[in-house]
């Protein structure tokens, strides 16, 4: 019965997805030899034959034939009379090979071997799975949603391996049900409690980069290079691209005819707005492109402090800042410069009032908040819609109302 149990163990592991055949054979033989050494003190005179496909094995022992009464080590020597029971032709000095029956090991040894084999194989499979996905960090994988929890979802790949995607790595508008197919990028692989933990992400810039490689052949072929990607997942992304072939328009190639290429990426990212711009080493031009669709009048660059002062017409400011301040935030991340937006005022028009003139009516920290969103005059604040001003400043609604009332009174 113990032999049957061990054969069942073979059947459990012979088709394991993460263990190759030579490794499997080596582990099995190692486990058997460990048992033989434990029982007989040595294994160098044993041959082990394993058939994984059939789930069986044979153990053969090689012993020297000696005269009667001269057997000093029964594990290595056999008397002539015993040898002749196996084969009549044996003579002293010859080598006898006989099969060791599995039942000879005893029930306890067989149970220990089975447990050892199970533990070794599972450990090996976990290690191989860890190595496999460690080498796939940065690659897109496709899996099936197996379980949806509040803080994460469990995904099975095409081989049934378990992958995890935390809530923080999901696009805010993502909604999945059990059985859905999902695409994500491998971002981390860790060993936790001696088991591999494979973390997927749909919010990583690498995921967007891989989607571009899939959709744009010129990127995959190396004709176009992605220089940088910044994202606010589910809201907006900016991608700087460069072509090494003058005949290839990098932005046009990424967008595709009538947006055919980029539409698939946008759908995958839950309608995330994607701005594709030409990369350039000219920092003024780069910032100008990064703030698109706003039209810039002039830019002052502070190379030392990595700051840029951008001047626009009043009606262009909201475009430069963008919904929720996403456009200017991403432009700063893309270029590596902290960008301050200023309105270019018309000297012949109605006079404006600098925010610093209101320090007797408005707390200085509130004025600093307003300056932080690119407003330096009263009119620049009044030009921003109330709801957007609340969102961008994160001030209390009553505070915003009081500020607007003060500024409106100034121009009455």
pLDDT value of residue 156:
96
- Residues 354-370 have a mean pLDDT of 84
pLDDT tens sequence across 287-296: 999 998 898 9
Q: Give the pLDDT confidence score for residue 324 in this predicted structure.
A: 86
Q: What is the pLDDT, as a whole number, of residue 19?
A: 64
Residue pair 165/156 in contact (Cβ under 8 Å)? The answer is no
Would you give the end-to-end CA distance of the chain in angstroms? 99
CB atoms closer than 10 angstroms to residue 196: 22
The pair of three-digit structure tokens given for residue 301, joined into one six-digit string: 């660059």
pLDDT number for residue 394: 84
pLDDT band at 55, cuts 50/70/90?
low
Cβ neighbours for 284, distance < 8 A, ≥ 6 positions apart: 299, 301
Average pLDDT over residues 119-129: 84
Give the CA radius of gyration of the chain.
36
Higher pLDDT, 278 or 50: 278
Q: Is 230:237 a contact under the CB 8 Å cutoff?
A: yes
Q: Please determine, for residue 5, whether its predicted confidence score (pLDDT) is greater than 60.
A: no
Alpha-carbon gap, residue 302 to 297, rounded angstroms: 17
Percent of the chain with pLDDT over 70: 91
Q: Is-contact 312 294, C-beta < 8 A? A: yes
Cα atoms in the Cβ-side hemisphere of radius 13 Å centred on 55: 13
Torsion (CA) 252, 258, 262, 265 in degrees, nearest 10: -170
More confident residue, 160 or 20: 160
Higher pLDDT residue, 60 or 274? 274
pLDDT above 60 (res 183): yes
Write the DSSP symbol of residue 355. Answer: G
Percent of the chain at pLDDT exceeding 90: 42
Give the whole-angstrom CA distance, residue 337 versus residue 4.
70
Instruction: Name the DSSP letter for residue 354.
Output: B
CB 287 within 8 A of CB 309: no
- Cα 305 to its chain centre, rounded Å, is 33
CB atoms within 10 A of CB 304: 6
Q: What is the DSSP letter of 168?
A: G
Q: What is the pLDDT of residue 4?
A: 44
> Residue 1 pLDDT > 60, yes or no?
no
What would the two tokens of residue 177 be? 């049900």
Q: What is the pLDDT of residue 242?
A: 95
Residue 337 has pLDDT above 90, yes or no: yes
* Range with the poorest average pLDDT among 19-28, 62-71, 199-208, 367-376: 19-28
Mean pLDDT over residues 334-344, rounded?
Answer: 90
What confidence category does residue 175 fall into, taking pLDDT thresholds of 50, 70 and 90? very high
Confidence class for position 274, pLDDT limits 50, 70, 90: very high
The span from the CA of 211 to the CA of 37, in Å, is 55
Please check the confidence at residue 20 and state whether its pLDDT lies above 70. Answer: no
Specify which of 89-93, 102-106, 217-221 reaches the highest per-range mean pLDDT: 217-221
338-343/46-51 β-pairing = unpaired
In the numeric block, which tokens belong to residue 123? Answer: 């450990």
Distance of CA 331 to the CA centre of its chain: 25
Tell me, what's the pLDDT at 412? 66
Segments of 260-404 assigned E as strands: 273-278, 296-302, 307-312, 338-343
Q: Which of 9-13, 19-23, 393-397 has the lowest mean pLDDT?
A: 9-13
Query: Given pLDDT bands bounded at 50, 70 and 90, which one contains residue 187?
Result: very high
Choice among 56-70, 194-208, 219-233, 287-301 with the minimum mean pLDDT: 56-70
Residue 66 has pLDDT above 60, yes or no: yes
**Cβ–Cβ under 8 Å, residues 117 and 9:** yes
Structure tokens at 318: 């909201």
236-243 and 273-278 as β-strands: parallel, antiparallel, unpaired?
parallel
Distances (CA, A) of 144 to 38, 163, 264, 266: 46, 10, 20, 21
Q: Which residue is listed with tokens 């009043």?
A: 314
Q: What is the mean pLDDT of the chain?
A: 86
């Amino acid at each position: 019965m113990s032999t049957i149990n061990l054969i069942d163990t073979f059947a459990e592991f012979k088709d394991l997805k993460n263990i190759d055949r030579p490794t499997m054979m080596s582990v099995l033989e190692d486990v058997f030899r460990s048992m033989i050494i434990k029982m007989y003190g040595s294994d160098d005179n044993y041959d082990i034959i394993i058939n994984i496909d059939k789930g069986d094995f044979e153990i053969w022992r090689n012993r020297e034939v000696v005269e009667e009464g001269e057997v000093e080590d029964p594990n290595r020597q056999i008397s002539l009379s015993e040898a002749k029971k196996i084969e009549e032709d044996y003579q002293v000095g010859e080598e006898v090979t006989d099969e060791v029956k599995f039942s000879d090991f005893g029930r306890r040894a067989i149970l220990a071997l089975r447990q050892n084999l199970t533990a070794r194989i599972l450990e090996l499979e976990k290690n191989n799975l860890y190595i496999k996905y460690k080498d796939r960090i940065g690659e897109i994988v496709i899996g099936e949603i197996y379980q949806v929890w509040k803080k994460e979802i469990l995904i099975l790949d095409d081989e049934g391996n378990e992958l995890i995607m935390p809530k923080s790595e999901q696009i805010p508008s993502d909604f999945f049900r059990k059985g859905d197919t999902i695409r994500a990028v491998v971002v981390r692989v860790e060993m936790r409690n001696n088991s591999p933990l494979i973390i997927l992400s749909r919010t990583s810039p690498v995921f967007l980069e891989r989607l571009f490689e899939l959709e744009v052949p010129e990127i995959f072929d190396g004709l176009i290079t992605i220089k940088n990607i910044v994202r606010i997942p589910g809201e907006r992304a900016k991608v700087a691209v460069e072509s090494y072939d003058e005949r290839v328009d990098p932005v046009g190639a990424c967008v595709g005819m009538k947006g055919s290429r980029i539409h698939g990426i946008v759908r995958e990212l839950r309608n995330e707005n994607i701005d594709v711009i030409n990369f350039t080493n000219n920092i003024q031009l780069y910032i100008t492109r990064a703030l698109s669709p706003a039209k810039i009048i002039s830019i002052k660059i502070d190379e030392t402090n990595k700051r840029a002062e951008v001047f626009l017409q009043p009606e262009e400011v909201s475009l430069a800042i963008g919904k929720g301040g996403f456009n200017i935030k991403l432009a700063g991340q893309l270029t590596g410069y902290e960008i301050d937006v200023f309105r270019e005022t018309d000297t012949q028009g109605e006079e404006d009032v600098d925010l610093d003139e209101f320090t007797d009516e408005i707390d200085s920290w509130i004025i600093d908040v307003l300056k932080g969103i690119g407003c330096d005059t009263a009119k620049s604040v009044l030009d921003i819609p109330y709801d957007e001003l609340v969102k961008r400043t994160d001030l209390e609604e009553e505070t915003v109302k009081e500020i607007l009332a003060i500024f409106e009174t100034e121009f009455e």
